[in-house]
Structure formats: structure tokens, C-alpha cells
Amino acid sequence: MKIRFRFPISVALQGLAALALLSPAGRALAQPAQEPSAAPEPKAAPTDFGVAMVHLDGHPLFRVRAAVGTTAEERARDIGNRISQAAADRTFSPDSLFVSETPFGTQILADNAPLIMVSDADARIERMTRSQVAARNLGRIRDAIATYRNERSAKSLLNAALMALAATVALLIALALLMWARRHFESLVQQRFEKGVSALKPVQAALARTDQVWKALGMLLRAAGWLAQLIVVVVYAQFVLGLFPWTRSAGTHLLGYLTDPLRVIVRGAIGFIPNLIFLAILALVTRLVLRALSLVAEGLRHETIQLKGFDPEWAWPTYRIARVVVIGFAIVVAYPAIPGSNTDAFKGVSIFFGVLISLGSTSVVGNLLSGYTMIYRRAFRVGDRVQIEGTVGEVTEIRVMVTHLRTPKNEEVVIPNSTIINASVTNFSALARKRGLILHTTVGVGYEVPWRQVEAMLLMAAGKTGRLLREPKPFVLQRGLGDFAVQYELNAYTDDATAMLNTYDELHRNVLDAFNEYGVQIMTPAYEGDPETAKVVPKAKWYAAPALPPGTGER
């Protein structure tokens, strides 16, 4: 009752005081005795149009403009702190507030301590005179101080606590009801869904993938339930925080804390639409260019498009290089249009990942460059029989990083391209397709055997070997006159390097048959003396068991 009775009187007193101070006589009487005890606030900056609201315990009081050397938000916060300090001092009476005119503006003081300086800029935003704004602000400050103290009384705090308790109970009930409603609604929807699916034919039901569809639908229903619970919790928190003066400001801005990020995202997305259109067009043009390059590469590979001196095997490696160049150029063009590309954080992260890639990909880049260099060197191609670092095998795959070989023992060997580029490569197939590959084998025969006979037998053995070419003709070289034997080397051409082992096998068998047929002994490396009988196989024993004569079965 006291509060209701005093409130109108205080308002009336404030009105009378404002009228008295607005009159010229009142200002003249007030000026000599109302010198401020502190330095006046600076004048408002005429070119700064920032405006901020002064709050006390979350209650808005009035607006102020930015001043020289300070922003509107900083000035509003300082004024609110001074009013809060005056209200917290129980010995201070709001009725002692008064208005003073100074050369800098109209000032409101509390026991000669300035609270606010009302400038002409502050008056312009309210479309009032400076004195009118000062009188209005004076009344609002007095009311705010009274409210400040009343809300911190034991009775008000007890009422707020009881209301918070009731709101908490209501929150628990609301959450429980929402959970029950969500589960009940989800169960009802699931029943309807399963009933509708069971009415379908078996094939249609299988195609519908009911498990995946219901999983997605259930997640959507649960997300809607969580969103409803979140809204209830936010409303509860905003209400409870608004009950107490210390948390009212947080409660007022709570919804803003949740909606401001969404608002920023939406505004950013809307502002990004022109850049998005540009990126979409750039992506479309890049895709068309890459498509055209792939068609040209396909034509070069199948030789429907021919370029002088261009190997068809270079088509796809060249396309890959061109694709990297085109995509890199597109990224450079698109970089300024990427959201956040001009921020220091984006630049810092880009530099960080660039350094990591540079330090960790030295060997990878080396293998890549080696792979492309090796492809354009044309050292070998898929299907060739080669020897690399002592490994003999058939090239099964040439990749950018490594090369795969299949050895005659059916082993797969993977060799890094950086190793191949620094090693010697023997290609058995490169010239075999054009001039033929020379296969050679050596035998040692004693001096008592005529060399013409040995050469004839070796040439006869080469003629019986099916995989050897008749042209160019095989030939025999006498590679050395040793201590106990003459070293004869048989050389014959073949155009199938991949069958080297089988060709050597057949050639050696034919050599043995020819020497046995004519009773010529092949000398061993360790010679001690002439044996009593020659070390040859008589023709009658050529097919001793379990060997089978030709035409009767496998060897």
C-alpha cells in the first residue's frame, strides 16, 4: 500500500521539478549552485550515428548517441553502471537527482556526481529539445532506481522464487507430456505405415525398402519432438531468468543467443547467392571443358584422332595433367567467391594444410613426377617383358606411383616409379616386335670334334625349335678356346619375348637330342681325363621309361 501511495506523489514531484527546471528562472537559479564535481561527458560526434539503449537490470531506460572517443554501446554501458551504483547505495535518495545546464549540454547529477550528459545529438534522435529529454530521462532514472530496490526486497525475491518453482514444476509436466505425445504419435504413425506397406505386393514392398524409409521417418519425428522440448526449455529459462534482477538481462537476450547464429547463417546464405550462381556457372564450364578434353583423349587413345609424333599411350596421362591444370585454374578463379576466403582464419588454415602437404608429400610428388616422366620416355609398355633392378617379369600395370610386374614364377612385384627412373631397364619386347630378340645359349665341346659339325648340330636344333624365327637366320659364334673345350654360342631370333623360358626349354632339349643323335659329347666345366666311353645317350634309349615317344602322349 505504501508503494502505491508514494508512486503518484513521486511522479508529481518529478513533474513539478522538471517544469521548474525548464523555466528560464529555474535554470538561472540552478546554475550557480549546481557546478558538477566531475568532468563533463564529451560532446556527441556529429558524424557518428551509432545509437544504443541504456538498461538497468534488463529494463530499457532511454537511448543515447555515440560520443567522440567512445561508441554508443560503451557510453550506454557506462551510464547504466553509474545508475546501478547510485541505486545500490541505500543512503542515496532518488529525489536528490537534479538537472543542470552546462556549456556542453544538459546534465543529470546525483549528489553533484554526473550520471548522464544529454547532448543535442541525443535530443535529435528523440525529436525533442535537450531540456525535455533531460526531464524525461530524470523521471525514468528515478523510477528505475525505485524498481531496482523494490525487486531486491525479501518479499519480491520470495515471490520470484515461488514463481520459479512453479515454472519448474510446469516445465517437468510439459516435458513429460511432450515425450508421451511423441512416443504415442510415433507408434501411431508406425502402425499406419506398416499397415500401408503390408497392403503392397511383395515385389513392391521389397523395392520400397521399408526399413530404411521408416528409419528416416522415425528420425524426423524424433527431431521434431526434440525441437518442441527445446522450445519449451528456452521459454522456461527466459521466464525464470526474467524473475530475478541479476539474471534478467541474460533472460532477455537468451532467445537472441539462439536465434542470432541462425539469423547470421540465413543472412550469409542470402548474401552468398550471387557468389553461388558464379560458382555454379564456373563448375558447369569446368565440367564441359573436362568433358571435351576426355573426348579428345579417347580419340587419341583409339587413334580416331591422330597427331604426328604423339603416342596413343600418352593420351590418358596427358589428359590427367590437363585436368589438374584446368581444375587448379578453376580453384584459383573460384577462391575469392568462397565464403570466408578473405578471413585471416581461412588463410591461416590454408597455409597450415599447405605446409603439411608440402612436408609430407615429398616422396609422393617424386613418384608422381617419375611416373609421368617414365610414361613419356616410353621405356616400356603394358605386356612387355623387362628386367628392372634384377627382377625379370611382364609389365601388367603402369600407374602414376608404381609399376606392377608379374615374374615367370607368377609373382607380383611392385616397384616405385622413383626407383625405376634412376635404374637401368632392360626391355626384351621393345625390339622383338620389329627386329626380333636374340636368344643365345652356350655349349662346350672338345677339340677332337670338328667345329663345322658342332655348328651344324646347333643350327639343326634351332631349326627344330618352333618359337624361333627362320628369318633372320640363326648363327653360331665361337666365343672362346678354353683349356679343354671350345665354347660355342648359338644365337637365334624370336618375336615373342614373353615366352623366353619356354623357348629356351625347347631349344635346350633339341640341342641335347642333336648331340646325342650324332654321338658328340658336351664337355663338363671340370675336365680330368677322357672317359672309356663317350658320355652320350644312344638313340635307342632316348625314350626310356617313363618317357613316351612322340605321338603317344605327353612328354
pLDDT digits 0-9 by tens, 160-206: 899 999 999 999 999 999 889 888 888 888 777 777 666 655 545 45
Virtual torsion, Cα 221, 223, 224, 230, nearest 10 deg:
150
Dihedral-angle region of residue 469 (phi above 0 means left; psi in -120 to 50 means alpha; beta otherwise): beta
Instruction: For residue 429, give the 3-state DSSP assignment.
Output: coil
Cα–Cα distances (Å) from 106 to 14, 101, 194, in that order, read 17, 5, 76
* Cell numbers given for 276: 553461388
Please tell me the predicted confidence (pLDDT) of residue 210: 61
Please tell me the predicted confidence (pLDDT) of residue 525: 59
Please tell me the predicted confidence (pLDDT) of residue 281: 93
* Cell numbers given for 158: 520470495
Please tell me the predicted confidence (pLDDT) of residue 99: 87
Please tell me the predicted confidence (pLDDT) of residue 1: 29
Please tell me the predicted confidence (pLDDT) of residue 504: 92
Residues 449, 116: Cα–Cα separation, whole Å: 129
In this prediction, residues 233-242 reach a mean pLDDT of 87
Give the total residue count for the chain.
Answer: 555
* Cell numbers given for 1: 500500500
The CA-to-CA distance between both ends of the chain, in Å, stands at 126
Which residues on neighbouring strands pair with residue 478, listed in sequence order?
488
* Cell numbers given for 226: 526434440
* Cell numbers given for 55: 538498461
Torsions phi, psi for 98 (to 5 deg):
-150, 165
DSSP per-residue letters across 379-397: S--TT-EEEETTEEEEEEE
Where does the pLDDT of residue 366 fall: very low under 50, low under 70, confident under 90, or very high at 90 and above? low
Q: Indicate whether this model's pTM tops 0.85.
A: no
